[in-house]
Structure 1
Amino acid sequence: MSQSAPYALPFHHHGKSKVRVGRVWREGNVHHMVEWNVNTMIDSDMEHAFIKGENTGMTATDTQKNTVYVVAQRMSQRCTVEQFAIALAQHFVRTYPLVSKAKIYVEQKPWARVQQGGLPHDHGYALQGTEVRTVYVTYDKAGKLDVTAGIKELSVLKTTQSGYEGFLRDQYTLLPEVNDRIMASTVTSTWKYTSQPPCYDAAFNAARGALLEGFLGPAKGGIYSPSVQFTLYDMAKILLDRVPQAESVFLNMPNLHFLPCAPVGSTFKNDVYVATSEPHGNIEAVVTRRTAAPHVSKL
């Protein structure tokens, strides 16, 4: 292509998606297991592949897929999903001269050890709910590491302590005002670390607990939510308080409606609802510490 051609290639990368890997660590009779769904993406000096059709120096997507399994095996001690993603990103950047930055996104499937007769099973696991733990790691030639942890499909619901009043009304508004309703959502959240926590598992558990506390409130009595927006902001504030290494929290919260239902021959008594999933409201925001820059969710 002529240098004077009216075209440019300001951005490009390539990677492998949906690489599923199971990793088992055998510690005597007790086995520890995780399942990860891995997406790799690398920035590299490969303009010539696009412009000239030359593949010299390219780290093929098949190589990236195979490397996922290699690095998983190299993690000889039990590790968190964050530690695995960091090791994978660093491998690509440190191994291949043309790679300037690696971007790794991993979802961890919610396998949990089964309890049998009140005891944890040595090697038995079962899936727990729908929620998925996530991490997005970037690492570049300059050694800059960014880690953004998260959770998605965290389904939460409370049967009271929620209302919605005082909103604008016009000729298109049919929604009645209410001060007692079911509030439900499937939460997606990510939080970016400004420094790395001493233990990623502990930080994740603290973040998850903060999200639940902000949504539900105390076990006795709960906490009133005047809107999804207010509750979302409260959830993010608690997370930032509980996880000091986090600087920015993204939250997406669909408002999943349970509509009051009056069964045939009766009236609604705050007891029967029509459960719906769509259409639904959709609320999202980023909450940061005052001096921090907001991040954008990978999801």
Structure 2
Amino acid sequence: MSDETSFLSHARYGKDKVRIFRIVREGKWHHIVEYNVQALLEGDIETSYTEADNSVVVATDSIKNITYYIAKISPHVLVPERFALHLATHLVSKYAHIHKAFVAIEQLRWSRIPVPGEQGTAEHPHSFIRDGDEKRIVKVEVDASKGKDKIIANVTAGLSDLLVLKTTESAFSGFVRDKYTILKEVDDRILSTSIDLTYTFAPVKIPKPADAQVEEFVVPAEIAPGSVWDTAVPTNARKVTLETFATDNSASVQATLYRMARLILAQHAHVQTVSYALPNKHYIPVDMGYLGVENLVPAQAEVFMPIAAPSGLITATVSRK
């Protein structure tokens, strides 16, 4: 095959599924995080593909080791947005031919175990419980393609696998009816979904590391509320999501989704877009008519059959004007 028939249009590589568990000790009070990390690189690496030239390759094993090392030395390791930015900034700063780094983090959910204390229930200083399957999600792109002293970062954060359910105040009616429609309109139903939420921040400038080993990472002294540096944003976004889901008298999943997204944008000035993916978790009332028992009318439906598939999937992105 001649060289004129094809060209390398894009290349990115790195290490995936780097599992990290980190303890930060403050005397007897311990903090923990557990991360699944993906770290990928872009830059002047095309000859490793086109000419079998490995001199431009930072080995994926080295990327894994760097990830562990930054997890050890970073003062920001407990905050996934900051840790991801620290790791990505180090990668683009250390290697002259690497121009972009992409770091994605899943943070597993651990909570402190409540125990009896002197003034009632207290959180245990070093004992934890795995608190469900929900994960906190962070994805960063650190771009040094315009110079190592002109680094720009784009950050997306959010959560996934947040399973919720409400037993009433959800309806679905007025939808298109044609020859394919057998679904009945309902004014009261179970609403359940596994929430995936992502929100993107406005791009931020990252200062060049000042130390010789380019291991330093500085967080701004003044933190703008609602910005990528504001550690309250993930808690607030989760709170808005749960409270809106619980209290909205839902006409549809679409309408509830839109309300949640708009509230997050309204409360966080530096968030530019909010996206949700809400798959239906269907609960179908069991027909007991053959026994003379009413279980289909919404007000009397009490026994349901959970259905895993097929399921509806409702998605949308709401953007700041």
TM-score of the superposition, structure 2-length normalised?
0.85
Aligned counterpart, 2:278: 253
Larger mean Cα displacement after TM superposition, 4-13 or 63-72: 4-13
Contact 2:171 2:189 in 1 (8 A): yes
Please give the alpha-carbon distance, in whole angstroms, between the structure 1 residues aligned to 2:60 and 2:230.
29
Q: 2:287 corresponds to which letter in structure 1?
A: A
Change (3 A) 1:122 1:164: same
Alignment partner, residue 213 of structure 2: none
Please state how far the C-alpha of 1:5 moved relative to its aligned partner.
Answer: 2.4
Question: Which of these residues, 140, 143, 151, is aligned with residue 159 of structure 2?
Answer: 151
How far apart in 1 are the matches of 2:78 and 2:17?
A: 20
In the alignment, residue 123 of structure 1 is paired with which amino acid? Answer: H
CA RMSD of aligned residues (A): 1.6
Deviation per CA, 1:101-151, whole angstroms, max 9, x where unpaired? 000000000011111111211110111122100100110113111111110
Cα shift at 1:201:
2.8
Kept in 2, the 8 Å contact 1:111–1:126? The answer is: yes
Question: Which residues in structure 2 correspond to 1:18-37 (within 5 Å)?
Answer: 18-37=17-36
- In 2, distance between residues paired with 1:120 and 1:201? 21
Shift in Å at residue 156 of structure 1? 1.1
* Residue 43 (structure 1) aligned with residue 42 (structure 2): yes
Name the SS of the counterpart of 2:54 in structure 1: coil
**Deviation (angstroms), 1:243:** 1.9
Aligned to 2:15: 16
Contact 1:262 1:272 in 2 (8 A): no
Amino acid at match of 1:278: A
Q: In 2, distance between residues paired with 1:88 and 1:78? A: 10
Q: Residue 279 in 1 paired to residue 310 in 2?
A: yes
| Deviation at residue 77 of structure 1 after TM alignment | 5.8
**Partner AA of 2:305 in structure 1:** V
Amino acid at match of 2:72: Q
| Distance (Å, rounded) in 2 between the aligned partners of 1:153 and 1:198 | 22
Aligned-partner Cα distance in 1 for 2:249–2:159: 24
- Give, in angstroms, the shift of residue 180 of structure 1: 0.3
Q: Is the 8 A contact 2:228 2:270 kept in 1?
A: no
Q: How does 1:5-154 map to 2 (within 5 A)?
A: 5-76=4-75, 79-117=78-116, 118-141=121-144, 142=146, 143-154=151-162
2-structure distance, mates of 1:235, 1:65: 37
Measured against aligned partners, the alpha-carbon deviations of 1:211-259 in whole angstroms (never above 9, x if no partner) come to 1122111xxxxx2111111111111011111222211011100011111
Distance 1:54 1:198, change over 3 A: closer
Q: Does residue 1:175 correspond to 2:183, yes or no?
A: yes
* Contact 2:240-2:263 within 8 A present in 1 as well: yes
Structure 1 letter corresponding to 2:129? A
Q: TM-score scaled to structure 1, two decimals?
A: 0.91
Correspondent of 1:267 among 294, 299, 302:
294
Q: How does 1:194-233 map to 2 (within 5 A)?
A: 194=202, 197=227, 199-217=229-247, 223-233=248-258
SS at match of 1:170: coil
Structure 2 residue ranges without an equivalent (≥5): 205-223
Q: After superposing the two structures, state which structure 1 stretch, 139-148 or 81-90, moved more.
A: 139-148
CA distance in 2 between partners of 1:24 and 1:79 (Å) = 9
Tell me the amino acid that sits aligned with residue 215 of structure 1: F
Counterpart residue type for residue 133 of structure 1: R
**Maintained 8 Å contact 2:32/2:78:** no
Give the total of aligned pairs.
284
With 192-201 and 12-21 compared, the bigger mean Cα shift is at 192-201
CA contact (8 A) 1:25 1:77 kept: no
Question: Deviation per CA, 1:148-168, whole angstroms, max 9, x where unpaired?
Answer: 111000111111111111111
Deviation larger for 253-262 or 228-237: 253-262
Amino acid aligned to 1:108:
Q
Q: Is the 8 A contact 1:210 1:242 kept in 2?
A: no
Paired position in structure 2 for 1:288: 319
- C-alpha distance in structure 1 between counterparts of 2:64 and 2:114, whole Å: 34
